[in-house]
Amino acid sequence: GEDVEQSLFLSVREGDSSVINCTYTDSSSTYLYWYKQEPGAGLQLLTYIFSNMDMKQDQRLTVLLNKKDKHLSLRIADTQTGDSAIYFCAENSNYQLIWGAGTKLIIKP
């Protein structure tokens, strides 16, 4: 069945890089997304990648896509305290978005 999997927590030191991983199941997904949820707020689109791309870079964010392994990752360079949030991976499948459970990014000083 459809399932998007992520680790529930990631802890990094301020200034280090954060890498949040996600595996998905639908090989026909055309878009894969990363959303960010700050405390008490709704989700906001962070970035997305089209399935014919391997990598997408946007300032401190780098998205890597390995279609063979159905693996998606989000790298945040120079992690800051403002990056503390829950990060959700989502894939489109049958015209719906299937969501991971979210990875809570914890920043240590």
Residues that bind another protein (CB under 8 A): 4, 8, 30-31, 33, 35, 40-45, 48, 50, 88, 90, 92, 95-102
- Shortest Å, Cβ 31 to another protein: 6
- Shortest Å, Cβ 80 to another protein: 23
Query: Is 45 exposed, middle or buried (CB count within 10 Å of its CB: 0-12, 13-18, 19+)?
Result: exposed
- Shortest Å, Cβ 6 to another protein: 9
The torsion angle over the Cα atoms of residues 15, 105, 88 and 47, rounded to 10 degrees, is -10
